Amino acid sequence: MTDTYRVRRGDGAESRNAVHFTFEGKSYQGLAGDTLASALIANGVHLVGRSFKYHRPRGFVSAGSEEPNALVGVGATQSRYTPNLLATQVEIYEGLVAESQNRWPSLETDAGFLNEYFSAFLPAGFYYKTFMWPRMAWKKLYEPVIRRMAGLGRAPAEPDADRYTQVFAHCDVLIVGAGPAGLAAALEASNSDATVILCDEQAEMGGSLLSDRSASIDGMQAADWARAALDELRKRPNVKLMSRTTAFGWYPHNFVGLNERVTDHLANPAANQPRERLWQVRAKEVVLAAGAIERPLVFTDNDRPGIMLADAARTYVNRYGVVPGKQVVVFTACDSAYRAALDLKAAGAKIQVIVDLRKSASGHWVDKARAEGIKVRSDSIVRGTSGRLRVKSAQISNAQGGDAETVACDLILMSAGFTPSVHLFSQSRGKLSYSEELRAYVPGESVERERSVGACKGLFALDSVIESGAKGGRDAAAKAGFPPRGERSYTVSARSVGADAFIGSVMADHQAEKRAWVDFQNDVTAKDVRLATREGFRSIEHVKRYTTTGMATDQGKLSNMNALGVVSKQIDVAVPKVGLTTFRPPYTPTTFGSFAGQSRGDLFDPVRKTSIHPWAEAQGAQFEDVGVWKRAWYFPQVGEDMHAAVARECKATRESVGIFDASTLGKIEIVGKDAAEFMNRMYTNAWTKLEPGRLRYGVMLREDGFIMDDGVVGRMATDRFHVTTTTGGAARVLSMMEDYLQTEWPDLEVWLTSTTEQWSVIALQGPNARRVLEPLVEGIDLSADAMPHMSVRQGRICGVPTRLFRVSFTGELGFEVNVPAGYGRAVWEAIFAAGKSYGITPYGTETMHVLRAEKGYIIVGQETDGTVTPDDAGLGWAVGKAKRDFVGKRSLSRPALVREDRKQLVGLLTTDPKAVLEEGAQIVLDPTHPIPVPMIGHVTSAYWSATLNRSIALALVRGGRSRMGEELSIPMPDGVIKAKVVDSILFDPKGERLNA
Amino acid sequence: MLLINCPYCGPRPEAEFANGGQAHIARPADPMSLTDDEWAAYLYMRDNTKGLHHERWRHANGCGRFFNASRDTTTDVIKRTYRMGERPEAEHQGAKP
């Protein structure tokens, strides 16, 4: 196709290179510098999408990031496909492939258009009202159908092939927006030693200056002045210019998120370029120069392809050199549309009529239009339009009603004035105030270190825009500590278009209004909004949620003020009283890739591995996640499932010797003159009398009296403790210890050091453990007399220094060999080799769990849940009764914590020894009790015990210790399981094995 | 993301810190002498301040030290940070420190 809508601009447009692309499978030609929108318009294409709900044909409304309709999917392959991009922002390159969305079977003939014929039955709140019943049908029937019908783009079917990076940056002054105000601010702020970042969402900086053919600054045409200013800024070493960079979000303390699109506009990006960069900028001062967005007028059938914002058409003509239509009707409530009409006329379009909503249109622009022979109708409205895939005509009448005149056209321009872009200001928690004159909200009081300048502050005349930008730039640099070296002056020659504005529906008598769109993207009409108010919604926050107006991906950039206008008029309440919906980041949709950055695949989540991990991996161990640690779960041999492997590992450990990697245990070295006193205060146990060389099982409470952590503690010297914590609790415990040490007891002379990573811990458990270790150890007598249970010795193993613990979490004779982590694997392999003749068997966390459950040893986080006291867990013996104080002590005597019927830890033996209970299952007295059945406890641990050849369980049961022998019921989906309450120690209750 | 001025390290992003709740709540010297109600008040009762709030922070991923900050809960503006054991500025003591 040829680009018959291209106009020569005399500024070198004809020398721009031809670029070929496809849209909807058809090939087109555009020019370098075109957006997909301007290139399609050059080819006469306006139909680009189907609306969200009614599948109405839709075309371009705007020329920028506020576009509600022209959502496209871009990408030739699924791994580089991006849905929901705006055709008004997508830059074309050779070979670009784009398609429309939300249409089937094709854009021209879309089956979903049937919704249009049922539109009377699809009012606001339709989904809430209709799909209430039957409940099951929502998930199976309604939702899938509605999702298919009402939709945006499809997610790509393959993982994203691109790379995304994230950058932190600091600057003295960040300027958002490189239009006239932003450029002036940058020129002034950078005339100092301040570091300045100037960012703009568009490919080319200059903003509205690029579309202005009539204004001049410093004797230059507006666009030339912008380019000269940018050249000057580029030369300054303290300035960083960032185009294609959207400031999408404001976060506290002048932290602004920028999304830089690096390669999307390139046909052949270099392999080392990321697709996008997420900039996290901390700015001392911010200048917001975000501009303003033109508002549509709300009139019947204002959504047909070929109905567009007036200033957008001016941008297409003046900046891109394409004319969006040749027979134009202009409908306006302000002067700026006259300026657009004159520019279109200059480009060869015929302006049929300018329909002005204002009672009597007058002034410079109106006179100029009339002088050029354009017909102007005051106090008039467009009351309807025709044309299915492209607008064909406009029906025009007096504003108060009366006969309508039909005027043929292929383009209707509309303008209700401009809405300042206060999004970032509002996100920064600045207070907005309503301007009756502008019919819009403008920045009021600031909270953060920022100032708004130019159109986003509600200033629209070019001279005042530049003046406010310059002032804001100087102010920002000075407040950042860098007073500018001088002021420059600007000679601006531009005719103001005033600030007239309108919000709401144009129809005086809205009974005569048919469907007039307020929100194009979510298909919400003025009628829908009125319906919401009739049904009792008065706050705009409620109207928004009920009608979904302003809730589409454009977040109501075009629609919010018009929706407010409709509500305000309908319920006769002033706009500021109706309220304003909250502006939230991101300003425009931002890719997930940008936020994820490098955090994908292996880098998604950190993984901690012990030094013995590769050995376990080579043995074919299965691993489980414990916190961020990978722990060997069990070691299956050929043909074994988990059940068989665990049974074998348990048996080997009980009968001979097992070896277990306990390196993930948290470890804290507590050192200092007051170390024992600190331990006394932090743990329930008494530590003063524990001799060096001895171990003690320690319990730590929170101040509310509940168990927080536990672990074995070794006293290495009078002023030194080797503390172990649970694997998952290490950081929490150290943090709590630091808290008390730093904030409550700064007088104590104690130092805390995490040593989790410094020690590898090899547990050797079983009747033959001593025999395996003895030949490897130097300088330590391992005999039962010299080194009883719960003692610690220092010496060497395999020539490596060790802290050797005699300790058991299995109930067997056991040792835990602590060696410097770098030697962990070598020592492990030496012990394993030495144990071969005893059939040494590596075991994982599952076997560890079974063995300790047989002995009734608790695991914090499994038997406890943050509401379990030491007494509940059967650990009353570990609480130092004579101690004056320790963290949590006072809480243990609170009334609720001393009740007789608290849940207590007991063992459970099922009547059927083969039935293994489910962890978390609820326990009841009488399963036939009518619902709700009172629950008296729950199962905390349940396993098959190969040692006892039956199932075992631990449980927390109300008054459990006084229920010994009682039969309880555990109702499960396939029947009730009966179990008997027994002591929690199910194996070797006298502890003869571990003392061997 | 807040920018928090650690009294030991200088300004650092919030991600390096852990919030430690309301500041200036001293652990009773002799908890066992307190009534249940007094102890419960110490354990659970905290101000829910709209406005200036004195709170504890720990530079968890930095120097590891605890310190205090006076932060406006409505704007997130941090008026001042100060070390453990120090008092908030007199003009910031509007509510109860």
CATH value at residue A82: 3.10.20.440
Q: Which residue of B has its CA nearest to A250?
A: B1
A205 pLDDT above the threshold of 70 = yes
Whether residues A284 and A190 fall in one domain: yes
Domain presence at residue A778: no
In whole angstroms, what is the distance from residue A617 CA to residue A856 CA? 30
* Alpha helices for A164-272 (secondary structure H): 180-189, 222-235
Percent of chain A with pLDDT over 90: 89
- pLDDT at res. B97: 41
Distance from CA of A859 to the nearest CA of B (A): 26
Q: Would A341 be classed as within a structural domain?
A: yes
Whether residues A545 and A525 fall in one domain: yes
From B88's Cα to the closest Cα of chain A, the distance in A is: 15
B26 and A742 in contact by Cβ < 8 A? no
pLDDT in tens, A951-978: 999 999 999 999 999 999 999 999 999 9
Tell me if A750 sits within 8 A of A675, measured CB to CB. yes
Q: Residue A959 corresponds to which tokens in the numbers above?
A: 């008054």
Asked, for residue A909, whether it belongs to a domain, the answer is: yes
Residue A608 DSSP label: B
Distances (CA, A) of A655 to A491, A835, A840, A943, A985: 96, 13, 10, 19, 19
A744 touches B at CB < 8 Å? yes
The pLDDT tens digits of the residues spanning A824-846 come to 999 999 999 999 999 999 999 99
State the Cα–Cα distance between residues A30 and A791, nearest whole angstrom: 83
Asked if A252 lies within 8 A of B26 by C-beta distance, the reply is no
Domain boundary among A691, A720, A755: A755
> A388 CB contacts (<8 Å, ≥6 apart)?
A57, A304
Cα–Cα dist A368/A370, whole Å: 5
pLDDT tens by residue, B39-66: 999 999 999 999 999 999 999 999 999 9
Using CA coordinates, name the residue in chain A closest to B24.
A743
Domain of residue A687, CATH code: 3.30.70.1400
Residue B43 has its nearest CB partner, among A704, A885, A895, at A704
Place of tokens 């309604």: A142
| DSSP for residue A921 | -
| Contact (Cβ atoms closer than 8 angstroms) between residue A858 and residue A873 | yes
Q: Is A433's pLDDT higher than 80? A: yes
For residues A265 and A303, membership in a common domain is answered with no
Could you tell me which residue, A554 or A145, shows the higher pLDDT?
A: A554
Domains and CATH numbers, chain B: 3-25+43-92 (3.30.2270.10)
Is residue A784 included in any domain, yes or no?
A: no
Query: Which CATH number do you get for residue A580?
Result: 1.10.10.1100
Q: Looking at the structure, do residues A396 and A511 belong to the same domain, yes or no?
A: no
Please check whether residues A409 and A310 belong to one and the same domain.
yes
Q: Residue A386's domain is classified under what CATH number?
A: 3.50.50.60
Q: Does the CB of A898 have a partner CB in chain B at under 8 Å?
A: no
Q: What is the pLDDT of residue A841?
A: 98
Range of the structural domain that residue A342 is part of: 297-415
Output the CA–CA distances (angstroms, integers) from residue A701 to A603, A631, A658, A741, A745, in the order listed. Answer: 35, 26, 32, 16, 17
Cβ contact (<8 Å) for A885 and B20? no
Q: Which of B1, B19, B57, B68 to mutate to test the interface with A (most CBs of A within 10 A)?
A: B1
Check whether residue A387 and residue A342 sit in a common domain.
yes
* Residue A635 predicted with pLDDT over 70: yes
Residue A675 placed within a domain: yes
Among A127, A148, A180, identify where a domain stops.
A127
Would you state the pLDDT for residue A129? 64
Torsion, Cα of A266, A269, A275, A279 (10° steps): -90
Boundary-marking domain end, from A588, A618, A636: A588
pLDDT at A338: 98
Question: Average pLDDT, stretch A96-105?
Answer: 85
Q: Dump strand ranges (E) for chain B.
A: 3-6, 10-13, 18-22, 52-58, 66-72, 78-83
Do residue A235 and residue A263 come from a single domain? yes
**Cβ <8 Å between B75 and A429:** yes
Q: Are residues A410 and A428 in the same domain?
A: no
pLDDT at position A1 is: 40
Residues A544 and A406 in one domain: no
Nearest CA in chain B to A168: B13
Could you report the per-residue pLDDT of A277-333, keeping only the tens digit for each?
Answer: 999 999 999 999 999 999 999 999 999 999 999 999 999 999 999 999 999 999 999
Give the confidence band of A110 by pLDDT, cuts at 50, 70, 90. confident
Position A656 in a domain? no
How far off is chain A from B92, nearest CA to CA, in Å? 18
Residues 6+ apart with CB under 8 A from A556: A519, A544, A549, A550, A563, A581
Contacts of A884 in chain B (CB under 8 A): 32
Statement to judge: residues A169 and A288 lie in one domain? yes
| A residues 690..709 contacting B (CB < 8 A) | 703-704
Total count of domains within chain A = 6
Q: Are A502 and A357 in contact (CB under 8 A)?
A: yes
In this predicted structure, the answer to whether residue A117 has a pLDDT above a threshold of 50 is: yes
Q: Do A279 and A170 fall into the same domain? A: yes
Residues A569 and A462 in one domain: no
pLDDT band at A107, cuts 50/70/90? confident
Q: Is B49 left (phi over 0), alpha (psi -120 to 50) or beta?
A: beta
Q: What span, in angstroms and rounded, lies between the C-alpha atoms of A253 and B76?
A: 8
Bridge partner residues of A167 (DSSP):
A279
Which two three-digit tokens encode residue A17? Answer: 């290179």
CA distance A913 to chain B (A): 45
Residue A636 lies inside a defined structural domain of this protein:
no
Q: Tell how far CA A714 is from the center of its chain.
A: 44
Q: Can you give the length of chain B in residues?
A: 97
Q: Is residue A926 part of a domain?
A: yes
Name the residue among A791, A799, A797 with its Cα closest to residue A831.
A797
ipTM score assigned to the predicted complex:
0.96
